[in-house]
A and B are shown apart, each in its own frame.
Chain A
Amino acid sequence: SQKIEQNSEALNIQEGKTATLTCNYTNYSPAYLQWYRQDPGRGPVFLLLIRENEKEKRKERLKVTFDTTLKQSLFHITASQPADSATYLCAPSGAGSYQLTFGKGTKLSVIP
């Protein structure tokens, strides 16, 4: 069965450093991969979508990579700030799919 693993449940980093979150998937070949941010008590907020033919995508301090050979996506936040503290979710999906499946998330804490 399809499986999505996000590297760790929690990640603590120092303010100003680059945070790197990992999303690994097995038993399928997604055409797209989405990343979301979720704050406590709130719904997820869409951040970035990367396609299988794109190696990298950037948005301000965010960068996402997609390695279909390794079956892995990396999500980077550069110059991290305490306001970046949240849970980050990845969601790979196949072409033509109507069902978006999420990983369990990584809780990022940026320490001042």
Chain B
Amino acid sequence: NAGVTQTPKFQVLKTGQSMTLQCAQDMNHEYMSWYRQDPGMGLRLIHYSVGAGITDQGEVPNGYNVSRSTTEDFPLRLLSAAPSQTSVYFCASNANSGTNYGYTFGSGTRLTVV
């Protein structure tokens, strides 16, 4: 099992550009989520999904879109990148849709918006 795979590992964007961060898991997990991690702020939840076709907002959803067409994939879209979105982004999945089970995280995407 590869676990949770995130691509790309690094990305530099210009302000106003769009891009999609990819996340895929091969563990047949129903639950997937996106976090961003900033110095001094810790991990903050952006969006999450409890299954294919179902998504919901987390703590900091503005500026980000998600969709969940398959169990395996949960891409995160930045429609018009802003410098405030410079961060490290982590995708995580969970075998159980509740928080009574440990999460598996990807290795992250480091995004810089200039």
Contacts and interface: CB of A to CB of B under 8 A. Distances in A.
A112 interface: no
B85 interface: no
B98 A103 contact: no
A96 B98 CA distance: 6
B103 A100 contact: yes
Given A98-B31, A99-B48, A43 B108 contact: yes
Interface in A81-102: 89, 91, 93-102
Interface residues of B, number: 28
Q: Interface residue tally of chain A, by bracket?
A: 20 to 34
How would you classify the secondary structure of chain A's contact residues: helix, strand, loop or mixed? Answer: loop
B2 interface: no
B108 A105 contact: no
Contact of A100 (B45, B56, B106): B45
A58 to B, nearest CB: 16
Contact of B90 (A32, A34, A43, A97): A43
Contact of B99 (A34, A45, A89, A105): A34
A49 B102 CA distance: 7
